[in-house]
Amino acid sequence: MAIRSDEIGQILKARISAFEAPVVDAQEGVITSVTDGIVRIYGLEKAIAGELLEFPGPRDGSGAVYGLALDLREDGVGAAIMGPYEHLQEGDRVRTTGRVAQVPVGDALIGRVVNALGQPLDDRGPIETDEMLPVERVASGVITRKGVDTPLQTGIKAVDAMIPIGRGQRELIIGDRQTGKTQVALDTIINQKGTGVVCIYVAIGQRSSTVAQIAATLAQYGAMEHTIIVSATAAEPAALQYIAPFAGCAMGEHFMLAGRDALIVYDDLSKHAQAYRQLSLLLRRPPSREAYPGDVFYLHSRLLERAARLDDAYGGGSLTALPVIETQAGDVSAYIPTNVISITDGQIYLESDLFNAGIRPAINVGISVSRVGSAAQTKAMKSVAGQLRLDMAQYRDLAAFAQFASDLDRSTRASLERGQRMTELLKQPQYEPMSFAKQVVALFAGTRGFLDDIPVEKVTDFERSLLRFMDQSHPEIEQSIMARAAIDEATEQGLRAALDEFKKGYAG
Amino acid sequence: MAGELQIARRYAHAYFDLAKQARDIPGWRRALDEVVTILSAPDVATALHDPRIPQHERGRLVAELLANAQPPARNLARLLAERGRAAVLPLVLEQYDALADRYSGVLRAEVVTAVPVDAQLEQRIRKQLAEKLGGDVQTTVRQDPSIVGGLVIRIGDRVIDGSIRTRLEQLQAALA
């Protein structure tokens, strides 16, 4: 529909005549120094911590620039600027706004790509929402919470079976560069399609091209319909990278408080810590280990504490957090990795050795844990996962030992053979998350010995054919597992019969 | 910078307390002002900051220069000079004024307008500000056509901005 120009004129006239600008009553200070995005201001006696400060805009007339009051001193304020600062000069005047940093929240954000202030970065127009939440909020208290008891299906066999994640949990994804950390997070987001879980992907300090690619990938798999991307790329000021995860968290909390389920991915907190280190050093705060400031633990603990599962009396919503940490050459005892490991409820370790050996996702199931554990697993999954965990543990113990032994007894060889097949079974291509019923069927076949006489290199093919066969010939079995979330006796018998039937016809 | 202000504040407090005891706040201010003027003369200021002159020498220099000044102000200047802090003296005066204003309940407001203000209007502004803020308001008026119209009033850190320029900017932001 075309809008005529006189109609636009009418609208503008109406808005101008209805426009009321109250007299501004604020505090004013004077800039005394500008250094790499940190501005020192003389005055502003009554500024509050985290308050938004209004700086004069660039000469091109693109409007005021905002900053965050971080350092309150006796005779002035240190602020981090969230925007261009090259035009600012000593002597420029700065005003308080009386507001702390806040972002728009609500359904209008879903499907959008926004910056750390909630302003759109895509080409889909303004974000139509009146609701705002402050970026910094205190985490839910003990009374309002309840235990994690509902699984959040990642669609990844190795994770859902052995490192189950519950709604409201905080599970760390940790590993070197190029080990598939983001992949685990993206598969999880894609798998939330149709489950009502709103996903928020926060990109901190990444390349703009990477973020664009992720947005395109999520759109391609239909996952943008339930996803918000908050992007603070490497080119953006450290102040924006610093508040990005808090902004994303506020957006997630909105859904949690409304009784809905949300999932947030912080990719990654190593870069976040670096952005905060930059701000802190420029603010002349004393550096401690690895030059990070003393409160870098609190930086992440207060962020991750905001993930919660609320009690039914408080709406029963949840916010699950998947922070990502990049290690250097597998060093998990560096400062930031140890901090975040101790804050989270478990971690998924990804290793480059496994990745290069073709085991993808490259999850080291031996040292990956979920402290919430099987409380967040369905009965069906529990019935197959227990055996799987045992098989894998035995395999790991024997694998190293078996390299030296030439002559192995039969049970040892059986354990090794089983382990090799299970490792093969846990491989999964990217962007192909599996429904939980399919996972149960595949793992059932493995743990109950149906794979033992299949050659190792055929396992992947066997699994794929099996799942196709089940869909075509016995859809009722998966439906029953889905509906009851458990394998009852009838289902188990049906499943065994179906497996026998399939194996007879499977030529390999 | 931050340190200097705190130092100045401390010295100003001490000097002001003494002035209060002597019940001669304006007199002590005049004395201090005189000292600041003498020591701010370019030659003197250079000498006072010359690191080649030892600190006790500087103290003597100050004492000689200020032979005719009031003893308390002279002593303050000498003390600062001997400690190598002669540079904060103008700040001490500034802080002294602030303390004196607070003590006597005087508020200094800067009123910025786009057009000239007659005495009657200034009187009205002063009266309304006094009602709003309480205390004795003293105004200085400055003209700045760039605010287009209206008033901007600054009292210390606080700014009350009713200028047309700011309203236009807000309108621009609202329509953008």
Does residue A268 have a cis peptide bond before it, meaning omega lies within 30 degrees of 0? yes
**pLDDT band at residue B43, thresholds of 50, 70 and 90?**
confident
Chain-chain contact of A21 with B2 (C-beta, under 8 angstroms): no
Q: Which residues of A are catalytic?
A: 371
Q: Which of B154, B157, B171 sits opposite A16 (nearest CB)?
A: B171
Flag whether residue B1 sits within 8 Å of chain A, measured between CB atoms. yes
How many CB atoms sit inside 10 A of residue A172's CB?
A: 25
- Give, in degrees to the nearest 5, the angle at Cα A340 between A336 and A343: 145
Report the percentage of chain A scoring pLDDT > 90: 80
Residue of B nearest to A57 (CA): B169
At a CB cut-off of 8 Å and minimum separation 6, what does B109 contact?
A: B126, B129, B137, B138, B139, B140, B153, B154, B155
How many CB atoms sit inside 10 A of residue A406's CB?
A: 5
At a CB cut-off of 8 Å and minimum separation 6, what does B142 contact?
A: B110, B111, B112, B113
Average of per-residue pLDDT values in chain B: 86
* A337-358 tens-digit pLDDT: 999 999 999 999 999 999 999 9
Chain-chain contact of A27 with B176 (C-beta, under 8 angstroms): no
Does residue A361 have a cis peptide bond before it, meaning omega lies within 30 degrees of 0? yes
Please report the pLDDT score of residue A2 as a whole number.
Answer: 62
Chain-chain contact of B161 with A25 (C-beta, under 8 angstroms): yes
Chain-chain contact of B159 with A28 (C-beta, under 8 angstroms): yes
Please report the pLDDT score of residue A213 as a whole number.
Answer: 96
Flag whether residue B13 sits within 8 Å of chain A, measured between CB atoms. no
Cβ burial of B45 (10 Å; 0-12, 13-18, 19+) is middle
Flag whether residue B3 sits within 8 Å of chain A, measured between CB atoms. no
Flag whether residue A9 sits within 8 Å of chain B, measured between CB atoms. no
Sequence-distant contacts of A286-290: CB under 8 A, at least 24 apart: A289/A335, A290/A334, A290/A335, A290/A336
Chain A nearest C-alpha distance from B114 (Å): 16
Nearest partner of A76 among A36, A29, A128, A12, judged by Cα? A29
Chain-chain contact of B166 with A25 (C-beta, under 8 angstroms): no
Q: CA separation (Å) from A82 to A10, A79, A149, A235, A240?
A: 35, 9, 40, 12, 6
DSSP class of residue A120? B
Structure tokens at A254: 């909105």
Please report the pLDDT score of residue A277 as a whole number.
Answer: 97
Residue of A nearest to B167 (CA): A21
Chain B nearest C-alpha distance from A56 (Å): 11
H or E element in which residue A218 lies: helix A208-220
Its sign, for the CA torsion A57, A58, A59, A63, is: negative
CB A131, CB A410: distance < 8 Å: no
- Mean pLDDT computed over B9-36: 90
Structure tokens at A154: 């990642």
CB B158, CB A25: distance < 8 Å: yes
Flag whether residue A60 sits within 8 Å of chain B, measured between CB atoms. no
Residues 119-158 of B with CB under 8 A from A: 154, 156-158
Q: How far is it, in rounded angstroms, from Cα A249 to Cα B58? A: 60
Phi and psi angles of residue B90, each rounded to the nearest 5 degrees, phi first: -60, -35
For every residue of A33-82, DSSP letters joined together read EEETTEEEEEE-TT--TTEEEEEPPPTT----EEEEEEEEETTEEEEEES
Chain-chain contact of B157 with A27 (C-beta, under 8 angstroms): yes
Report the percentage of chain A scoring pLDDT > 70: 99
Chain-chain contact of A19 with B171 (C-beta, under 8 angstroms): yes
Q: Which of B2, B158, B167 sits opposite A73 (nearest CB)?
A: B2
Please report the pLDDT score of residue A106 as a whole number.
Answer: 95
Please report the pLDDT score of residue B1 as a whole number.
Answer: 43
Residue A336 is which amino acid? I
- Beta strand pairing status for A318-326 and A308-309? antiparallel
Q: Which residues in chain A land under pLDDT 70?
A: 1-3, 405-406, 508
Nearest partner of A254 among A154, A130, A147, judged by Cα? A130
Chain-chain contact of A64 with B172 (C-beta, under 8 angstroms): no
Which domains does chain B show, CATH number per domain? 2-101 (1.10.520.20), 105-175 (3.40.30)
For tokens 């395999």, what's the residue? A395
Please report the pLDDT score of residue A1 as a whole number.
Answer: 54
CB A159, CB A428: distance < 8 Å: no
Task: Output the pTM of the full model.
Answer: 0.88
Residue of A nearest to B163 (CA): A23
Residues 362-421 of A with CB under 8 A from B: none
Flag whether residue A446 sits within 8 Å of chain B, measured between CB atoms. no
Q: How far is it, in rounded angstroms, from Cα A134 to Cα B95? A: 38
Chain-chain contact of A28 with B174 (C-beta, under 8 angstroms): no
- Give, in degrees to the nearest 5, the angle at Cα A120 between A53 and A211: 110
Residues 92-111 of B with CB under 8 A from A: none
Chain B nearest C-alpha distance from A22 (Å): 8
- Beta strand pairing status for A38-43 and A227-232? unpaired
Q: How far is it, in rounded angstroms, from Cα B16 to Cα B10? A: 10
